[in-house]
Structure 1
Amino acid sequence: MTVLAESTSGSNPLVNTGVFALFVAITLYVVYRAGNRGQKTSTADYYAADSAFTGRQNGVALSGDFLSAASFLGIAGAIAIHGYDGFLYSIGFLVAWLVDLLLIAELLRNTGRFTMGDVLSFRMRQRPVRAASATSTLVISFFYMLAQMAGAGGLVALLLNVHSKLGQSLVIAVVGLVMVVYVLVGGMKGTTWVQIIKASILLVAATLITVFLFGKYGFNFSNLLTAATDRSPMGKQLLEPGGSYGQSGTTKLDFVSLSLALVLGIASLPHVLMRFYTVPNSREARRSVVWATACMFVFYLCTLVIGFGAAALVGADEIKSAPGGENSAAPLLALHIGGTLLLGIVSAVAFATILAVVAGLTITASASFAHDVYANIVKRGKAEPADEVRVARLTALVVGVLAILGGILVNGQNIAFLVALALAVAASANLSTLLYSLFWKRFNTTGTLWSIYGGLIACLLLVLFSPVVSGSPDSIFPGIDFHWFPLKNPGLASIPFSFLCGAIGTFAGKSKADAGKHAEMEVRSLTGIGS
């Protein structure tokens, strides 16, 4: 820790914070300029940026929306500490976009308008289904925000050498406030431009660090891996499966559960689904996924090199003892290869990543509440656009406060792991309902409610009574033990359960499916007519 202590003393924190403040100022200006074009009170503008973005622009923004603190900080740390098993996150995140491309993106863009609730309620009873959709969206967004806020606390703790819980809590509060400003000022249009800028800079930064590491080891990946295994406590096991998930039958099941959540969860994330409404048609929605996948393919290859590079140059002991723990691997690597200035730049990019992702989550959560609950349940579809946008902005404030409180609670957990939990919740609550709605003619309102609430409640209960919350040294509450579910990720149980609930609810429910509405939805989803 001597390198870290020396590098974060004196004026270095000022340099780091200055780089970060400059980045935030630039992006806030972009948000302000983009958000003040056109009608500020238009719901189409605030929620979906008037569907004015091209597939390429939205694809880069999609990658920016998803290349969060989990990808840059959590995965790099997981690879540096656990090796092969840490790379599972990268593979799962990347493969998941094939599910999105083949099953979700085009059909969703053609069927809905602003939120997932538009799709699910198309041929069902509007009020209960929209309420269920808004509930799942808010819960999933909250879980995903926890990961970003935890990343913010750990990152700035490293950046400013803040070790106290109070100091890290204040940092998380500042992140939450800036994020709310992004959403209130810019709406979806401003947030999208921030995502594009952030994704581009993140890709450039990751690529440059990767090229430097290759050059340091003679452009030979084997030399880098050898250096990583020589310095790691795991030795050559760093390159073999089972370092984190192979010790017992339970951890192997956890591996399968995590894989299932990663691959199926992304296609169910509300803030990813909502991005498909920012393009004009289904063709551009498909292009969005292709561009997003290409950007993430490059990025995740870079995280493999960055993770093993951190293991080789920084070492597991220094990473674990740094503020932020595993999440500090990438910033510490930047410190070792480029000094304080590169640490400031990398930390600023990672911090801006957190801000932009949380802004995207916030606008999704606020749009779902304002559009599904306020406009279509409370006002029965007769809300004024200006009032709907005002409710969305008030919701953003409430969501921001809850995210700050939750982030303080989970500060210190591995970010990639927390994101995997959010993906499990998303896949449990939304995936079965979306697929049944789009492809099953008999699916009805009862089945919709059972699949959403059944999957959501099952997933939350299993997380509550898992080692994530209690009974383990790295639990949220390590001093107590009330867990009975052995797996850290509940996807293996909760995702199939949601499909089962949807099927049972459909057959047991008294409500009958509307064949005419199903035919109309099928035509719209496949052709885009009427969308």
Structure 2
Amino acid sequence: MSGDHQTLALILFSVFVAVTLAITTWVSRNRHGSAEEFYAGGRLFSPMENGFAIAGDYMSAASFLGISGLIALFGYDGMLYSVGFLVAWLVVLLLVAELVRNCGRFTLADVVAARMAERPVRIAAGTSSVTVSVLYLVAQMVGAGSLVALLLGETGGAARSWTVIGVGALMVVYVSLGGMRATTWIQIVKAVLLMAGSITLTILVLVRFHGDFGLMLTTAAERSGHGTDFLAPGLRYGGDWTARFDFISLGLALVLGTAGLPHILSRFYTVPTAAAARRSVVWSIGLIGSFYLMTIVLGFGAAAIIGPEAVRASNTAGNTAVPLLALDLGGGAGSTGGTVLFAVVAAVAFATILAVVAGITLASSASVAHDLYASLRSRRAGAKPYSEVAVARAAAAGIGLAAIGLGLLARDLNVAFLVGLAFAVAASANLPVLLYSLFWRNFTTRGAVWSVYGGLVPAILLVLFSPVVSGGPEALFPGVDFHVFPLQNPGLVSIPLGFLAGWLGTVTSGEAPDPAKHAETEVRALTGAGAV
């Protein structure tokens, strides 16, 4: 990219970082340091504010950069990510949002521990939540690195590495100083910027093709090198049985994983009532649905205007398709319009990454402090709430370091694909125990623990021994081959195992469920009576 691109984009980056740091500083001076303030922002946000924040939390680098890139490279099959991410919100709206708000205080473990032996359940759920969060954070780090590498014309990797480190440091600052209140406002600002940027690019793409969506698709198919196959299923997930099962596995993970994401579940605690949580989801579905429709236009528009080969030459995983599209729509390389539009889109994408990593880091640090630390030490020692918040701030730093290390390792993978792995782990480990706890009267503590580990451990092991890690030129370790599991996404196997383990642990536990606790949980979940 030219010096003008670099300078303008870096100025916009700096402006957004300065604004968000100002928000964080202001919020940190106007809070009283309680756990409720740090984890849930005092539960004072309106449904509309929380809906925008949920959308900001969910529309990540995977959506803006990764999905559009996959569509540009693989056409119809890339579009399946958009469909899966959107349909998942029906599960959240119908099965999770209100019930979770009524039954818990800050984390997933609060819901499960309401009727189980608290310590083993909190340790299991906290471990799972941190694992999912770190996987999700890695995707955001990779997106940030790809974006800045494109901006600076960097091919060696130094810019990516320093970007990953810088994003990690910023997210620790946001969470440690501002907690949920600052994180929420950062996400709201980011959602507004992302929607405005996406609408602008979508309009410009449609104007380029005179409003003829069919002409855009035809041009994309012609430039793809695959002809009409580009617009039909099977380019990425067709062919042999492995690819077909990989598609089914991915679909299950995307549709079921959202309801188990810790940073999404934690958003339901920032509103005062369950009804407000439901209305928040309705707001977020409207925003998210509109956005994913636009990613389809942007992806096929990039294929038609830039061409898959040019996108792949810039970034093999396709993560830079949208910035390249913006550059062309603005007038091309060297033009003032291209420079401005590219810089704005790059800054919006960077804002997207910063906001999402802040939300994920907060959710995972809450799991460490409220679930793991509180279970292992604080509750027995009678520690005061502020000590738990102090642990959460320290945990944010540790999680940031872990995410930085993994982000440097996985910097050449597609960010949407990385998020798909996080969704698979969430759907395997978190969703089964959540649904069993809410709807199965006879569910026991052993069933809860087995359900979490029975989904978490297989999901992690299957990823480690899959083509993602070894055995191919695009693997994390391309020079070795120890993969034995043929699928790239483990959801098809690990999700049923999570549900099976929960059932098996319950029927073999010999525990007698406490009907009073179940009745209390059921009444609270369905009516909100006694909810915090």
TM-score, structure 1 normalization:
0.97
Matched, 1:127 2:119: yes
Query: How far off its partner does 1:375 sit?
Result: 2.6
Matched, 1:295 2:287: yes
Aligned to 1:509: 509
How far, CA to CA, are the matches of 1:63 and 1:446 in structure 2?
Answer: 35
The 5 Å alignment of 1:426-445 reads 426-445=426-445
Aligned to 1:409: 409
Matched, 1:151 2:143: yes
Aligned to 1:357: 356
Query: How far off its partner does 1:324 sit?
Result: 6.3
The 5 Å alignment of 1:391-402 reads 391-402=391-402
How far, CA to CA, are the matches of 2:280 and 2:153 in structure 1?
Answer: 39
- Which of residues 13, 21, 35 in structure 1 aligns to 2:6? 13
Percent of aligned positions with the same letter in both sequences? 53
> Would you say the 8 A contact 1:470–1:483 is kept in 2?
yes
- Segments of 4+ in structure 1 off by > 4 A? none
Deviations 1:247-281 (A, max 9, x none): 21110110000000000000000100010000001
> Would you say the 8 A contact 1:84–1:238 is kept in 2?
yes
Aligned to 2:369: 370
Aligned to 1:29: 22
Query: How far off its partner does 1:512 sit?
Result: 2.4
Structure 2, unaligned stretches of length 5 or more?
331-337
Aligned to 1:4: none
Aligned to 2:420: 420
Deviations 1:268-301 (A, max 9, x none): 0010001000000100110111111110111011
> Would you say the 8 A contact 2:429–2:451 is kept in 1?
yes
Matched, 1:528 2:528: yes
> Would you say the 8 A contact 1:264–1:427 is kept in 2?
yes
> Would you say the 8 A contact 2:69–2:321 is kept in 1?
yes
Aligned to 2:460: 460
Matched, 1:341 2:336: no
Structure 2 residue identity aligned to 1:256: I
Matched, 1:76 2:75: no
How far, CA to CA, are the matches of 1:371 and 1:267 in structure 2?
Answer: 20
> Would you say the 8 A contact 2:149–2:157 is kept in 1?
no
Structure 2 residue identity aligned to 1:115: T
Query: How far off its partner does 1:162 sit?
Result: 1.4
Query: How far off its partner does 1:9 sit?
Result: 2.6
What SS is found at the alignment partner of 2:379? coil
Query: How far off its partner does 1:374 sit?
Result: 2.1
> Would you say the 8 A contact 1:468–1:475 is kept in 2?
yes
> Would you say the 8 A contact 1:80–1:329 is kept in 2?
yes
Structure 1, unaligned stretches of length 5 or more?
1-7
Aligned to 2:451: 451
Aligned to 1:178: 170
> Would you say the 8 A contact 1:163–1:323 is kept in 2?
no
Query: How far off its partner does 1:317 sit?
Result: 1.2
Query: How far off its partner does 1:26 sit?
Result: 1.1
How far, CA to CA, are the matches of 1:364 and 1:469 in structure 2?
Answer: 27
Structure 1 residue identity aligned to 2:481: D
> Would you say the 8 A contact 2:223–2:303 is kept in 1?
yes
Aligned to 2:335: none
Structure 1 residue identity aligned to 2:494: S
Call closer, same or farther: CA 1:142–1:494 in 2, change over 3 Å.
Answer: same
Structure 1 residue identity aligned to 2:503: A
Aligned to 1:284: 276
Aligned to 1:223: 215
> Would you say the 8 A contact 2:127–2:372 is kept in 1?
no
> Would you say the 8 A contact 1:447–1:503 is kept in 2?
yes
How far, CA to CA, are the matches of 2:58 and 2:28 in structure 1?
Answer: 22
Matched, 1:305 2:297: yes
- Across the aligned residues of Structure 1 and Structure 2, the Cα RMSD in angstroms comes to 1.1
What SS is found at the alignment partner of 1:327? coil
How far, CA to CA, are the matches of 1:103 and 1:496 in structure 2?
Answer: 18
496-505 vs 316-325, greater mean Cα deviation: 316-325
How far, CA to CA, are the matches of 2:84 and 2:389 in structure 1?
Answer: 36
Structure 2 residue identity aligned to 1:367: A
Query: How far off its partner does 1:31 sit?
Result: 2.3
Deviations 1:177-213 (A, max 9, x none): 1111111121000000010110111011101110111
Deviations 1:79-124 (A, max 9, x none): 0010000010000000000000000100000000011111111111
> Would you say the 8 A contact 1:105–1:289 is kept in 2?
yes
The 5 Å alignment of 1:179-218 reads 179-218=171-210
Query: How far off its partner does 1:55 sit?
Result: 1.1
TM-score, structure 2 normalization:
0.97
What SS is found at the alignment partner of 1:53? coil
What SS is found at the alignment partner of 1:380? helix
337-346 vs 192-201, greater mean Cα deviation: 337-346
Structure 2 residue identity aligned to 1:63: A
Aligned to 2:48: 56
Aligned to 2:333: none
Aligned to 2:228: 236
How far, CA to CA, are the matches of 2:444 and 2:428 in structure 1?
Answer: 18
Query: How far off its partner does 1:233 sit?
Result: 1.5
Aligned to 2:378: 379
> Would you say the 8 A contact 1:153–1:324 is kept in 2?
no
Deviations 1:38-69 (A, max 9, x none): 31x11100000011011111111101001000
Structure 2 residue identity aligned to 1:355: L
Query: How far off its partner does 1:166 sit?
Result: 2.8
Aligned to 2:334: none
> Would you say the 8 A contact 2:48–2:280 is kept in 1?
yes
Aligned to 1:249: 241
Query: How far off its partner does 1:171 sit?
Result: 1.2
How far, CA to CA, are the matches of 2:513 and 2:319 in structure 1?
Answer: 48
28-37 vs 453-462, greater mean Cα deviation: 28-37
Structure 2 residue identity aligned to 1:36: R
